[in-house]
Structures are given as structure tokens and as C-alpha cells.
Amino acid sequence: RRLPELLRAMPKAELHIHIEGSLEPELIFALAQRNGVALPYASVEALRSAYAFTNLQSFLDIYYAGASVLLHEQDFYDMAWAYLQRAAADQVVRAEIFFDPQTHTSRGVSMQTVLQGLHRACEDARAQLGVSAVLILCFLRHLSEEDAFATLEQALPYRDRIVGVGLDSSELGHPPEKFARVFARCRELGLRLVAHAGEEGPPAYIWSALDVLKVERIDHGVQAVHDAALMQRLAHDRIPLTVCPLSNQKLCVFPDLRQHNLGTLLDAGLAATVNSDDPAYFGGYINDNFTQVFAATGLTAKHAYQLAFNSFEASFASDAEKRDWE
């Protein structure tokens, strides 16, 4: 069978998707109109043409602006439902979805509004699409740890609606250590822990995400190749890396996809996975990430099976669910 066909047809888990990054320009405009929110772009085309990024921050500025159209529970539902339908079409059977509550609560949208809408879409996905979908609350690392604690407090009434917590937004200058206390508290609460580290930041941030925050997975982590001891640690402990090839290309981490190190990570025995990060902004959903990185770097069917296996192994699903997929 042709490799692209295998990549598209194989069941897989998506473990690194920011739901606000799945908001397509068309839906941004539709929600802006529905909610009477003014946008600084004249058209869908004008907005899309602003998607020319040079680094992580240049993307984040426009990503937070796009999220400003989300006001009501139904808006969050519509966004998540659109993503889940798209994911099901890519043979995603498990999705662990990041959301950024502080982007919304800072605009006066309540945690309840955000979580009700997202949770209802996850329930409908299980019933209508056969997709097992769960939510991971991400703290914005450019804000204070105090702000993260307040956000955790707001989420606790809905504790059963989130499987874990993560850490995202501007990486450089905001090392994992800044969130040591809030992650320790989340750990006591039985929440699963992940963090973005080593996207633009140094290997030291991956070490501290593991040893200070005690995370179970590293989001991105591609800078690990610059530290041989870290590579050994990640391989030995089978710490999953949720790699996002098109994101890395669009944010100029690897300006040319042919330079991407996914193959190096896999061949070193790391539990790397392929994910879409912010598909509406980076030019493709999970299967586009698979087909494009395979075409650019010459990965094989063996790598494809390994990546699908890794995605289930790395997921926070129950052992019973994992047995079904693996």
C-alpha cells in the first residue's frame, strides 16, 4: 500500500492540539458577526494573509486576537465540534485537547462557559463520532504563577472534566521552574501533567519540566537533540514527545521541513508522536502533518507504525481503551 494512504488510514491519537488553534478564519468571521465583535481584518482572505510567522511570539499575537470572538458556550462547542469532526475524518480515535482558559477569563468569559461548551462537544464526539476526547487545561506561562493558581481554583468545581494540566504560550524567558508550586498542587490533585518545553527553548527547560514539574510528556521537545544525556534520559524513560512538524516549519524552528529531526528522535528510541498543534494557523490537520513530514524526510512504513503505537502508549486513556487501539 502506498505510504500516504497508510498514514491517512491508520488509527491514531492526537495529543497536542490547542483547541483555540483549530479556529478557522471562516469560523472566526462567523462568530465575530454572531457576537458583534469587531475584527481588525476586512475579510477571511485578509486574515489568512496575516498568517506569516517568524517565530512563536509572532504567531501567539494573532492566535490570541483570533480567540477574542469566543464569548458564549455555543461558540466553544462549535469550535470543538468542528475540530472533532475533522479529527475523526483523519482516523483520530483519541484526542487530548488543550485549552487556554486565561485567554477567555481575562476577557470576562467564565470558566464554566468555556468548560461546558468544550465538554459537551467531547461527549457528542464519543457518542456520534466514536472519538474518545478529553481536555487538558493549559496555564499561560507569560502570566504569573499566582494567576495560574487562581485559574486552577476556578477549574476545581469542574475537576472531573479535565484529565490534566499543561503549560503553553511564550517559552523563552519563562522556564518551567516558574510554575513549580502550581504543578506540585496539580499533582496532589491527581491531575496528569504535561508541559511545552524545547520548542524554541533550550534543553535545560526540558530537564526542568521533567525534574521540577514532574511532567509525564513533553510537548514539542525537538531541541532535545542538542543534549546527548537528555536524549538518553528520554529514550530510557520512554518520555513521550508530542512533535508538531508543520508548526515547527511555520514558526521557523525548522524553516525547511526536510531539516526536521523527527526521524532522528525515532531512531534514537524516543517515544515521539505526530500532532497538529494549531491546525487552522499552520496549514494542516494531523494527517497533513504525517504526509508532509514523511514526504520531506523519507520516513518509512516502520516509522508510521511506531508513531501510531507511540500515540496510544503516550495517551492518558485507560489500559482497557488502549488495548482496543493497539
Annotated catalytic sites, by residue? 199
List the one residue from 20, 100, 277, 288 that touches Zn ion (CB under 5 A).
277
Task: Report CA-CA distances (Å) from 68 to 86, 106, 148, 278.
Answer: 22, 10, 20, 16
Residue 221 Rama label (left phi>0; alpha psi -120 to 50; beta): left
Nearest approach in angstroms of CB 169 to ligand HPA is 5
Which of 199, 189, 190 has the alpha carbon at shortest distance from 167?
199
CB of 128 to ligand HPA, least distance (A): 27
Q: Which residue has the cell 521552574?
A: 177
Contact 63, 169 (CB under 8 A): no
Binding-residue pattern over the window 126 to 155 for ligand HPA, x denoting contact by CB under 6 A: ------------------------------
Residue 199 binding result from Zn ion, ligand HPA, none, given CB thresholds of 5 to 8 Å by partner type: ligand HPA
Count of positions on this chain that bind ligand HPA (CB under 6 A): 11
**Rounded Cα distance, 252 and 200, in Å:** 9
Query: Which of 86, 196, 260, 303 touches ligand HPA by CB under 6 A?
Result: 196
Output the smallest distance, CB 74 to Zn ion, in A. Answer: 25
Helix, strand, coil in percent for the chain, rounding step 5: 60, 15, 30
The CA distance from 224 to 229, in Å, is 9
Q: Minimum distance between the CB of residue 219 and ligand HPA, rounded to whole angstroms? A: 7
103 contacts ligand HPA (rule: CB under 6 A): no
- Is there binding between residue 75 and Zn ion (CB under 5 A)? no
Dig out the grid coordinates for 203 from the structure.
534543553
Contacts with Zn ion by CB under 5 A lie at 277
Contacts with ligand HPA by CB under 6 A lie at 18, 21, 56, 63, 168-169, 196, 199, 247, 277-278
- Going by the annotation, the residues of the binding site for Zn(2+) are 16, 18, 196, 277
